[in-house]
């Protein structure tokens, strides 16, 4: 198990370096001159040359890359000229909002999909199964931004059950994790927790529905495959009750693809969602990145690419480790 872990961590580090080279090269290949952008349209050549050397853009590429990596690990992720502050502090401000939204969307999608699908396959009802297939079909097809607007129209405007597009709601007094729901819980403030959850519900559900449908379809197909395996007949012949057969044997055997897909979905959600964040005025990272791209604020974009890569690789590492727990064949090979 230790070797397995070390091998996975080793390959994760190599992948992150690969991603860093990619992020670096792509942004250097863009024709825009960052020094010109920063100095503004009326700056003369002298000023631009000064900014260029300030940014280190006159050095050879590999030296620039080396400087970039060293400062990245030192916590200097560059300076956002459009916001007038360091990129890292911008990200630290905004990442928790996106992370909290992503985690709740993921929990809704993953737990909901596993629960509903396993229940329906256990009940083996043809009608429930058809209903579930229809539901998953629809949820995969509906775009989240449209759903977000629909939710606002129905649950905010018409029914008034949920808050409108006002962001995350009131911030908790003391910050521990940056996740409002968790911080309220730590403070023991349950009404604050409920308010934060209330604000999260609509955007999280809008983001969750697509992944939910996808996971339902995946898990349903895998469960159907396993149900017909000969070992399931053997279990019945041993006298194992249907509940144990389903939850202790069939589900673990059918679960691996869902776990993998779940990891990818979580990583994708953690990268922030531009449209849903915009619609709900959510102070997340998606908005930051879009602004960064539009203003050609390359330090922001570069930092975001690196951050996404690290999140993807980190989540996948976690999934690999979980894989080993679920399936002994992965652990031993």
Structure tokens at 49: 């040359």
Which residues are bridge partners to 278 per DSSP? none
Direct distance between the N- and C-terminal alpha carbons of the chain, in angstroms, rounded to an integer:
10
CA separation, residue 43 to residues 33, 36, 54, 62, 83 (Å): 13, 8, 15, 28, 20
The CA distance from 240 to 268, in Å, is: 40
Question: Which residue from 59, 65, 56 is spatially nearest to 17, judged by alpha carbons?
Answer: 65
Where on the chain is the footprint of another protein (CB under 8 A)? 229-231, 233-241, 249, 252-253, 326-329, 332
Smallest gap, in angstroms, from Cβ of residue 257 to another protein?
A: 14
Smallest gap, in angstroms, from Cβ of residue 239 to another protein?
A: 4
Smallest gap, in angstroms, from Cβ of residue 246 to another protein?
A: 12
CA separation, residue 158 to residues 42, 130, 142, 164, 207 (Å): 51, 31, 21, 11, 21
CB-nearer residue toward another protein: 129 or 229: 229
- Going 96 to 99 to 101 to 103, the CA torsion angle's sign is negative
Smallest gap, in angstroms, from Cβ of residue 128 to another protein?
A: 19
**Which 8-state DSSP code applies to residue 158?**
I
CB-nearer residue toward another protein: 73 or 332: 332
CB-nearer residue toward another protein: 41 or 230: 230
**Which 8-state DSSP code applies to residue 80?**
E
The CA distance from 14 to 16, in Å, is: 5
Smallest gap, in angstroms, from Cβ of residue 244 to another protein?
A: 8
CB-nearer residue toward another protein: 184 or 323: 323
Smallest gap, in angstroms, from Cβ of residue 248 to another protein?
A: 8
CB-nearer residue toward another protein: 176 or 236: 236
CB-nearer residue toward another protein: 188 or 328: 328
């Amino acid at each position: 198990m230790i070797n397995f872990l070390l091998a996975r961590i080793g390959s994760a580090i190599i992948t992150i370096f690969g991603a860093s080279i990619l992020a670096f090269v792509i942004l250097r290949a863009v024709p825009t001159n960052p020094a010109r952008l920063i100095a503004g349209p009326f700056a003369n050549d002298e000023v631009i040359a000064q900014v260029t050397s300030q940014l280190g853009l006159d050095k050879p590429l590999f030296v620039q890359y080396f400087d970039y990596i060293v400062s990245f690990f030192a916590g200097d992720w560059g300076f956002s000229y459009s916001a007038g502050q360091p990129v890292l502090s911008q990200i630290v401000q905004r990442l928790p909002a996106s992370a909290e939204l992503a985690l709740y969307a993921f929990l809704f999608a993953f737990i909901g999909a596993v629960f509903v699908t396993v229940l329906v396959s256990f009940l083996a009802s043809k009608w429930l199964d058809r209903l579930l297939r229809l539901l998953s079909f629809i949820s995969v097809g509906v775009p989240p931004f449209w759903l977000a607007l629909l939710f606002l129209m129905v649950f905010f405007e018409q029914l008034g059950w949920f808050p409108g597009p006002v962001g995350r709601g009131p911030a908790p007094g003391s910050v521990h994790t940056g996740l409002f729901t968790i911080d309220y819980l730590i403070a023991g403030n349950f009404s604050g927790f409920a308010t934060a959850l209330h604000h999260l519900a609509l955007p999280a559900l809008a983001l969750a529905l697509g992944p939910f449908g996808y996971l339902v379809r995946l898990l349903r197909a895998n469960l159907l495959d396993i149900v017909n395996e000969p070992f399931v007949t053997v279990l019945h012949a041993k006298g194992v009750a249907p509940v144990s057969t389903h939850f202790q044997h069939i589900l673990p055997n059918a679960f691996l693809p869902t776990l993998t897909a779940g990891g990818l979905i979580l990583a994708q959600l953690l990268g922030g969602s531009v449209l849903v964040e915009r619609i709900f005025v959510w102070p997340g990272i998606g908005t930051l990145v879009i602004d960064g791209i539009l203003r050609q604020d390359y330090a922001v974009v570069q930092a975001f690419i690196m951050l996404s890569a690290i999140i993807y690789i980190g989540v996948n590492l976690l999934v690999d480790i979980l894989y080993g727990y679920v399936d002994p064949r992965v652990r031993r090979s």
